[in-house]
A and B are shown apart, each in its own frame.
Chain A
Amino acid sequence: MKKFVSILLLMSLLFTLFASVGHAASTPPKLFLNGKELLSDVEPRIEKGSTLVPLAILSEGLGYEVEWEGGPKKVTVKNDSTVIELIINQTSIRVNGEVKEIDVTPPKLVNWRTMVPVRLVGELLGISFEWKEDVREVHMFEKAEEPKPGTETPETPAVGYITAVNMDEQSIIRISHAGANAPGKPKLLDNPRRLVIDFPYTTFIPQLANTIGADGQAKITVENNPLLTSYRYSQFSASPLTARLVVDLGDDTGYVLTSGENEFAIALMPLSEVPAQPVDPETPTEPEEPSTPEPSTPPDNSADVYDIVLDAGHGAKDPGAYSKSLNRWEKEFNLSAVLKIKAELEKDKRFRVHLTRKDDTFLELMDRVKFAENVKADLFISVHANSYDNTSVSGVETYYERANSKAFAETMHKYVLAGMGIRDRGVKKAAFKVIKETTMPAILIEAGYLSNASDASALFNTKTQDKLAVEVAKGIKDYLKLK
């Protein structure tokens, strides 16, 4: 037995050696957002039970603004209603100014990438999660009706007040209120299983507010009820005012949410009893799209529709230039910008937009050229960001190479400048592959210098990217003399 055990120990030692040397560890989890896989150059990893993802995925994929401060190693993630501040390797985080301790792995740096616990940040920013154990996939879903950042609701509704929160013997939680605004779609979350309902522009009457404890919530524990163990309410956010109700559910609990006069009612029942509702499928999974350039649909040669090719520079193993101040890479900016320009252009039915890449994949320069030639593009735009050792160098540059591209470059440059709001480094001629070997008017935009802290901030600022997209679309219409 002794001999067997020691051989077994040595064998396991060998196996672990092989595991670390040959990277034979278990496959990293995959991430999906609204049904579509999110790709990243650094893989998500599981540490102490929580899934860490590169923060850039959250910002890119979910449209949040992310700021990085190298000195204190601080990351700030925000959307319109919430600001989260995280510090590398620290378990205390700040949510809307309030300090919270997290019970999951703290954010860390891996290969220059900031990795954060996906569930934590996602929850705080209003994302629901589902962990599919068998295929090791994390699925995230955004709230359907929230408009994407950038489109603010025009007027602020009047503040409503919750006057009482009670549960009756039929396991119906009743929320009495005066003028409280209709809650957003309830979120069903796991680990632990709970129902989260947010009431925008709503707060509690003082009587109720006084029941909220030092930990920021009022908790009512429920005994002997398989449907739930407790329910709690809190002022989740002060700016804008958001009241939150959380019901800690049993594994088999379903709910029906109804609203009556001055009351919202959440009826809890076993899942099998929940009546079939016409559920609004807010997350239709997109059909699987190949990650190679789109197959060339027979081009519509009618002059009414213009085929525009947008080329996000670099991708995957080629990260492009680096921003030291933000710890981010060019390829992310390129893709974000291109996706936004596409969305902006597609508002106009006269444009058909083709992307050389729509995610984090690598393409040779020649393949980008061939792609544009195959779709018989009318215009070609390659989007990049710049870099130089001298960090004071900053500004927009627009490049063309062939004679038929000069006017296009000169027109577009003005609009890119308007979009970026940084220095003007002019229109220049240079023989970069993608603008040299294509045949249609083609330009390469260097939207700013990542090596310059101020340019970098602008490049990764969501609002600036939105403006850039709007201006580029305007520029294309101007060049094509469209109204």
Chain B
Amino acid sequence: MKAGKLRVILGVAACTLLLAGCGVNEPGNVAGGSVVSPSPSGAPSESPLPTASPAPTPELLSQEVSVYLTDEQLLEMIERKVTIEFGSEEELLNKTIEALQENEEPNQSLWNGIEILSATINEGIATIDIKIPDESRLGAPGEMMLIDSLKKTLFQFEFIDGIQLLVQGEQVESLMGHVDLEHPLKKD
């Protein structure tokens, strides 16, 4: 091999490694959460148009959903009702979690600072993969209400009877060091 060609190959190899190296430190590259199945069981499958057209508009359902926040003083849980439009149970799950994360002044959502990596549903278990930024860590009562508000919010749905809460794909003993997590959290 000529010297020049060898140099080019080494140079390309160096660049490739550099680019590959950029991706190495990414902590959130997690395979967590199951592959989304196109049609979750139990979803309403009534399709008024019996045509075989490739992309039928799925019927959008609308539901009033309760999400739970905490009051200004971190003393009690406050119910907030929102209307959610969804085409599948998984979509309902995801949109409910989004609504759960919203503050409604003066009430606070403890989930506001938490990053949701994925939320999927499979055979009644909602698997939610999250990332907790260090600055969003709460004290003991905050963590308790964080988990209680999630349970209260998701267990209102009949199609959910368990919550598998993961932190960056892993089952941890505790989210923030005060409350131990059951795997999965079960409906009482």
Contact = CB atoms under 8 A, between A and B. Distances in A.
A393 B180 contact: no
B124 interface: no
Contacts of A479: none
Given A17-B17, A432-B178, A390 B142 contact: no
Interface string A11-50: 1011001101110000000000000000000000000000
A403 B6 CA distance: 77
A313 B138 CA distance: 12
B150 to A, nearest CB: 16
| Chain A, interface residues (CB within 8 Å), range | 35 or more
Interface in B73-113: 73-74, 103, 106, 108, 110, 112-113
Contact of B139 (A112, A365, A449): A449
Contacts of B112: 389
A320 B137 CA distance: 6
Interface residues of B, number: 37
A229 B183 CA distance: 70
B7 A313 contact: no
A285 interface: no
A439 to B, nearest CB: 17
B74 A393 contact: yes
Contact of A322 (B17, B25, B137): B137
B14 A13 contact: yes
A427 B13 CA distance: 64
A424 to B, nearest CB: 13
A430 B141 contact: yes
Interface string A359-391: 000001110000000000000000011111110
Interface string A394-416: 00010100000000000000000
Nearest to A318: B177
A7 B17 CA distance: 16
Contacts of B28: none
Say what secondary structure dominates the interface of chain A: mixed
B158 to A, nearest CB: 27
A483 interface: no
Question: Interface centre among B17, B108, B137, by most A CB within 10 Å?
Answer: B137
A391 B106 CA distance: 12
A433 B141 contact: no
Given A10-B10, A388-B142, A390-B73, 18 more contacts: A3-B3, A10-B11, A10-B14, A17-B14, A18-B17, A314-B177, A321-B138, A321-B139, A322-B134, A364-B174, A384-B140, A386-B138, A386-B140, A387-B138, A388-B139, A390-B108, A430-B140, A446-B140
User: What are the nearest 5 A-B pairs in CB distance?
Assistant: A386-B139, A21-B21, A433-B180, A3-B3, A10-B10
Interface of A: 3, 6-7, 10-11, 13-14, 17-18, 20-22, 112, 313-314, 318-322, 324, 329-330, 364-366, 384-390, 393, 397, 399, 428, 430-433, 444, 446, 449-450
